[in-house]
Amino acid sequence: MKINSKVEEILNKQINAEFWSAYLYLSMSAWCDQQGLKGCANWMRVQFQEETSHALKFYDYVLTRSGNVKLEPIEKVDQKWNSMLHVFEETYKHECLVTELIHKCYDVALAERDHATTSMLQWFIDEQTEEESSVLDIIDQIKLLGEKSGGIYHLDKELGARVFVDTTQTPAP
């Protein structure tokens, strides 16, 4: 069945938001790299890849439902932060915003009785819970270590070990 027009519209907005998120994380990655935080830069680059895969999951879903994908220009993102802590605090705020946007998508799909879309969006709702928790853990570690300690060196190394795994390709149960 063809996707409902209201659902199609909000999912197209979400595609743009996900690509904007990817762009933001790539900007954060560049900033971290310029600060000598190679591990943090890697972590943000993996976030960039994740957000791109999320955008494509929405993109593919709209097309699968015989909808029209409408790509919009990506707005400018921030390019400077004060510290590693600031980068991750902004990341957390951004992930909370993305959670709100996904909840809005879910609310529209629910109101339109689009059960297929609510089912698809459940994956994103679960993913956002994990994203927020992961970032909060890093913020807690940075605060515990203090940004001028040798512990940040080890945390940066740990963040550098993160590898992109495209979880959007996991088949539905």
Question: Of 47, 53, 60, 84, whose CA–CA distance to 12 is shortest?
Answer: 60
**pLDDT tens-digit profile of 25-55?**
999 999 999 999 999 999 999 999 999 999 9
Q: What pLDDT is attached to residue 168?
A: 82
Determine the average pLDDT of the residues in 59-81.
96
Candidates 21, 15, 123, 112; CA nearest to 68 is 15
Q: Which helix (H) or strand (E) holds 15?
A: helix 5-34
pLDDT tens digits, 76-122: 999 999 999 999 999 999 999 999 999 999 999 999 999 999 999 99
* pLDDT at residue 156, as a whole number: 85
What kind and span of H or E run contains 136?
Answer: helix 115-145
Tell me the C-alpha to C-alpha distance, in Å, between residue 96 and each of 44, 90, 128: 16, 10, 8
Q: What is the mean pLDDT of the chain?
A: 93
CB 28 within 8 A of CB 94: no
Helix 150-160 / helix 38-64 crossing angle, nearest 10 deg = 30
What is residue 149's DSSP assignment? S
96 alpha carbon, distance to own chain's centre: 10
Residue 74 has pLDDT above 90, yes or no: yes
What is the dihedral sign for C-alpha 57, 61, 62, 64? positive
Q: What is the pTM of this model?
A: 0.91
Are 78 and 90 in contact by the 8 Å Cβ rule? The answer is yes
Q: Is the pLDDT of residue 142 over 90?
A: yes
- At residue 147, does pLDDT exceed 90? no
CATH of the structural domain 5-163, one choice from 1.10.10.60, 3.20.20.140, 1.20.1260.10, 3.90.79.10: 1.20.1260.10
pLDDT band of residue 157 (cuts 50, 70, 90) is: confident
